[in-house]
Structure 1
Amino acid sequence: MMTNDTIRKLNELKLFGMVHAFSQQIESAVAGHLSFEERVGLMVDHEVTYRDEKRLRRLLTNAKLREPACMEDIDYEAKRGLDRSVMASLALCNWIRHGVNVIVTGATGLGKTWIACALGNQACRHGMTVKFERVPLLLEELAIAHSDGTFRKRIAAIGKHDLLILDDLGINTLTAERRADLLEVVESRSGTKATVVTSQLPVRRWHDYLADGNPTVADAIMDRVVSDSYRIDLVGESLRPKRRRSANS
């Protein structure tokens, strides 16, 4: 009776990890040989683990990463120009804490989005908030936000994430309005929040793409995104045929 009452109270306190650990100890003969301090310690550890896993699930769900990627699964055998030491440094996530950007460029099929999602996954595992956005869709949504009066609210929300992933910069033509919206996005994060940008265009071609007759806006975007950023320039052949073979084997 006392056991049921204890479980009920733990549930009311939302100590669900401790409920599970408490039930396990009751059912396990091994737990009877542990000291009181050890048993309480195990219950507390179980609660911490439960909360950490719950938080990670929530962060990953909210991030909406396009690929189920993680740093441990990065393929260094493919000759893409990836530097292990750079990736190991990025895995520490200090660049996110300091609001530094990462730019991943390369031809289609080299894994730009996958690497960006791996960095996003790592950030979630460090307890940081992440948001994945494809640039073309984001700019469409911001255009609608102008119409319904939610633009400022949307920009403010974008500026709050610890890490923003902007995927596929450069695949669509920018109108003057969308170029200005992109500037608002990067301005909302400049100097305080980190952004990962992926693009098939090499950085040397970004200014021409972003300018289109308005170099002032292009200069502003380049200054906020490219300055003092980590650069990952992928080279080589597409990995997609290799992935298809692996999936079919």
Structure 2
Amino acid sequence: MNNQTIDKLRSMRLGAMARLHLQHVEQNRLEGMTCDEYLALLTDHQWEDRENNKTERLLKQASFRQNANLADINYSAERNLDRNMFARLGTLDFVSRKENIIICGASGTGKSYLCQALGHQACLSGIKTLYTITARLFKKLKLSKVDGTYLKELEKLTKMELLILDDFGLQAFDNQDRETLMDIIDDRHGKKSTMISSQIPVSAWYEIIGGEGTIADAILDRIVNSSHRIDLKGESLRKGILKQE
């Protein structure tokens, strides 16, 4: 009877429940619990297993370069990073409100780490997230225009509840890049959250995007107006690591 029950659990893709039930049967640990308590135990175990698997899938899909987390954020005064403000962002309410985040600062000030820490927290909360270097994404989308998969790739981006564009503006935008950026931002505006990090201050983005002024205006209007802004200061954190070594 127990073997049949375990087989049926497995066939219904309730593997975690089946494994735990088998352990209890083999170790004769069924006594001392009511039927309700035992059912709750098996159900909770299955639920936790699925949630863990979901988190692992989301983290793998996000493609983070660093294992960043909120607990390790450096709030030293010279960084100009407000602890209370960033803690509010860490609640991820900005995602539910479809708001954006812009993080600017010189090279090595920790922009990428902050982005990935928030992205990691989003994955733990079941939020579909994608982290990407902006130039690499544009290169990939250029190739997709050649092989006819551009719209499919855009749709994948649109499904992401949080899209993180790191190192924004390091390379000059050509006409295709501007059109691609407009497509991405327009599809997500008011629907999904976008996080952008850049060494270039927002005041210079208009010139970097270039092209016809109307396109740059439209892009910046959609990105900047609904965004939380963080401007990091101080020396490169990498320099501090090198000094310690």
TM-score (normalised: structure 2): 0.92
Q: How many residues align?
A: 245
Amino acid at match of 1:219: D
Output the CA distance in 2 between the equivalents of 1:146 and 1:125: 33
Q: Distance in 1 between matches of 2:96 and 2:7?
A: 40
Gaps of 5+ in 2: none
Q: Per-residue deviation at 1:132?
A: 1.4
2:225 corresponds to 1:238: no
Moved over 3 A (4+): 26-31, 241-246
Which of 7-16 and 47-56 deviates more? 7-16
Report the AA paired with residue 237 of structure 1: E
| CA positional deviation for 1:21 | 2.4
Q: CA RMSD in A?
A: 1.9
For residues 49 and 168 of structure 1, what CA distance do their matches in structure 2 show?
Answer: 36
Output the CA distance in 1 between the equivalents of 2:84 and 2:26: 47
Retained in 2: the 8 A contact 1:108–1:200? Answer: yes
The 2-side partners of 1:46 and 1:40 are apart by 10
Say whether the 8 Å CA contact 2:172–2:209 is kept in structure 1. Answer: no
Indicate the SS of the match to 1:33: coil
Structure 1 residues not aligned, in runs of 5+: none
Q: Specify the code of the residue in structure 1 equivalent to 2:232.
A: L
Q: Deviations over 1:80-117 (max 9, x none)?
A: 12222222211221211221000011111111111111
Q: Which residue of 1 aligns with 2:152?
A: 153
- State the TM-score, normalizing by the size of structure 1: 0.91
1:244 CA displacement: 5.4
Structure 1's 139 and 26: CA in aligned 2 closer, same or farther, altered over 3 A?
Answer: same
Task: Quickly say closer, same or farther: Cα 1:38–1:90, change in 2 above 3 A.
Answer: same
| CA shift for structure 1 position 3 | 2.4
Give the % identical residues: 36
- Contact 1:142–1:154 (8 Å) recurs in 2: yes
Q: In structure 2, what is the equivalent of residue 88 of structure 1?
A: 87
- Taking the TM superposition and a 5 Å limit, the aligned residue runs for 1:8-19 are 8-19=7-18
Question: What is the aligned partner in structure 2 of residue 102 from structure 1?
Answer: 101
* Pair 1:126 & 2:125 matched: yes
Letter in 2 for 1:143: K
Deviations 1:107-133 (A, max 9, x none): 111111111111111111111111112
- Give the structure 2 partner of residue 190 of structure 1: 189
Map of 1:26 onto structure 2: 25
The alpha-carbon deviation at position 242 of structure 1 amounts to: 3.8
Counterpart of 2:134 in structure 1 is 135
Q: Contact 1:158/1:188 (CA < 8 Å) preserved in 2?
A: no
Deviation of the 1:28 alpha carbon: 5.1
Q: Residues 37 and 79 (structure 1 numbering): CA distance in 2 closer, same or farther, change over 3 Å? A: farther
CA distances 1:15-70 after superposition (whole Å, capped 9, x unpaired): 12212322343355665323332222111111110010011111111111122112
| 1:49 partner letter | E
Aligned to 1:50: 49
Mapped partners of 1:228, 1:189: distance in 2 = 12
Larger CA deviation: 132-141 vs 146-155: 146-155
Contact kept? 1:108, 1:238, Cα under 8 Å: yes
CA positional deviation for 1:9: 1.5
Q: How does 1:207-218 map to 2 (within 5 A)?
A: 207-211=206-210, 213-218=211-216
Contact 1:71 1:119 in 2 (8 A): yes
Distance in 1 between residues matched to 2:228 and 2:26, nearest whole Å = 52
| 3-state secondary structure, aligned to 1:79 | helix
Change (3 A) 1:36 1:81: same
Alignment-mate amino acid for residue 140 of structure 2: E
Alpha-carbon distance in 2 for matches of 1:128, 1:101: 15
